[in-house]
Amino acid sequence: MGLFTPFVPYHTSAGSSTIRKFGGLLTVEFLEPPPGRSFMMRQTYRLDVEGPVSPELRKLIDSPKRPDGPAMHFHRYQSEFFHVEHGICVAEVDGVSRNLTPEDGEVSLPANRIHRFHIHPDSGEYMTVLLSGSDAGIDNQLDRVFFENWYGYWHDALLYDGGLDFIQKLQMLDAGGHYTPAPAWMPFRLFFGYWTSVIIGRWLGGLLGYKPFFKEYTTDWEFAVNKMKSSFWTRRSVDGFWGAKERWAREAALSAGPNPTNAELQYLLEDVTAATRAAKAKAAENDSSNGCVENGEVSRADQEIIGISSGLVSETAQVRKR
């Protein structure tokens, strides 16, 4: 992607109530939020992906940029609620780390607390957390539209663009009321973190034609357009007039149809680990009469069930760089 060039998505995930990124390293299931909360989702992070993956994904998993949870941030207007369902979640709040487990029940985090969370190495294979946030009744807040777009962009930018665009990142996070604090050695970390996102992400990004939401990622596009049109800085980037957000029933109805597909990019939007294990189980069942499984047979079963041809990994490695 060129300098000051607005991002264009590589894949489509709109209309999916459950989205998987990075070959199943991250799985997000959107749920109906309870009264007073703007979103609820069940989020699962794996420690690794088992099965055939692209060189880009393997390199990412083995790097410091590995997607194991959000970076350090704060929410200006919303409180968050965490409930660990499986594994161990490391929650760092204002520099103090705490391990959360299912026995802790739901834990609340007030607005304007600097925090992050990630999967603990001793979680077993995965960590599952039920996340929700208070409803501040404003446009720039955490909700399904924000998370659909952030996780879609995170996946595409890290795998196919070599990293996050600074302006695009700040604009998208600002649209979700999600801000990166200034470094720990600076005073007024929240103040400078907030205004950096507003000035560079919202104002400069808006002038350059960036937008925080993309139709390719967004289930309720009418609501996303309505949010963008409410801002002077992003209204130029969208076309048409759209109605306001409707109830959960509408989002559920919009998600009821078939999920989109993405040609050779699709398999990294699936749970590669589960598919690989299913392939091995099928191969073992087919070969049970001999009491063993040949490596070649497992490989063919992998290709059959996961839908990856022998040249797919190399094809993915050649995905056009923007």
Structure confidence at residue 318 (pLDDT): 47
Distance between CA atoms of residues 194 and 75, nearest Å = 9
Kindly state the tokens that stand for 215.
């139709």
pLDDT exceeds cutoff 70 at 103: yes
d(CA 230, CA 225): 9
Neighbours of 186 (CB within 10 A): 11
- Number of residues that this document lists for the chain: 322
Mean pLDDT (the chain, rounded):
86
SS3 221: helix
Tokens for 275, please give them. Answer: 């598919």
HSE toward the beta carbon, residue 138, CA cutoff 13 A: 15
> Of 142-151, 244-253, 271-280, where does mean pLDDT reach its minimum?
244-253
- Find the range with the poorest average confidence among 92-96, 179-183, 193-197, 309-313: 309-313
> 179 to each of 4, 127, 193, 251, 259, how far by Cα in Å?
21, 24, 6, 27, 31
How confident is residue 289, by pLDDT bands cut at 50, 70 and 90? low
**What are the residue boundaries of the structural domains of the chain, listed by start?**
18-254
pLDDT value of residue 284: 86
Distance CA 304, CA 309 (A): 8
Domain 18-254 class? Answer: mainly beta
Confidence of residue 291 (pLDDT cuts 50, 70, 90): low
Per the model's pLDDT, the better-predicted residue between 240 and 218 turns out to be 218
Q: pLDDT tens-digit profile of 90-100?
A: 999 999 999 99
How many whole angstroms separate alpha carbon 283 and alpha carbon 295? 10
What does pTM read for this prediction?
Answer: 0.79
Let me know: does 95 contact 135? Beta carbons within 8 Å: no
Tens digit of each residue's pLDDT (9 = 90 or more) over 193-218: 999 999 999 999 999 999 999 999 99
Nearest to 48 by CA among 29, 67, 71: 67
The CA-atom distances, in angstroms, between 19 and each of 29, 104, 111, 184, 233 are: 7, 27, 27, 34, 29
Output the six-digit token pair for 85.
């369902």
Which pLDDT does position 286 carry in this prediction? 84
Rounded Cα distance between 138 and 230, Å, is 11
Tens-place pLDDT, residues 8-21: 999 999 999 999 99
| Distance, CA of 119 to CA of 47 (rounded, Å) | 7
Higher pLDDT, 305 or 20: 20
Taking only the tens place, the pLDDT of each residue in 20-50 is: 999 999 999 999 999 999 999 999 999 999 8
- The Cα–Cα gap between 192 and 120 comes to 30
Residue tagged 């304007």 (tokens)? 112
The percentage of residues in the chain with a pLDDT greater than 90, rounded to a whole number, is 62
Mean pLDDT across 79-87: 96
| More confident site: 5 or 115 | 115
Question: What is the per-residue pLDDT for 315?
Answer: 44
Give 44-67 pLDDT, tens digit per residue.
999 999 888 889 999 999 998 889
pLDDT at 292: 53
Q: Give residues with Cβ within 8 angstroms of 175, minimum separation 6.
A: 139, 140, 146, 149, 212, 213, 227
pLDDT reading at 294 higher than 90: no
pLDDT reported for residue 299 = 52
Place of tokens 């800085």: 233
Residue whose C-alpha is closest to residue 273's, from 49, 21, 84: 49
- Average pLDDT of the segment spanning 173-194: 95
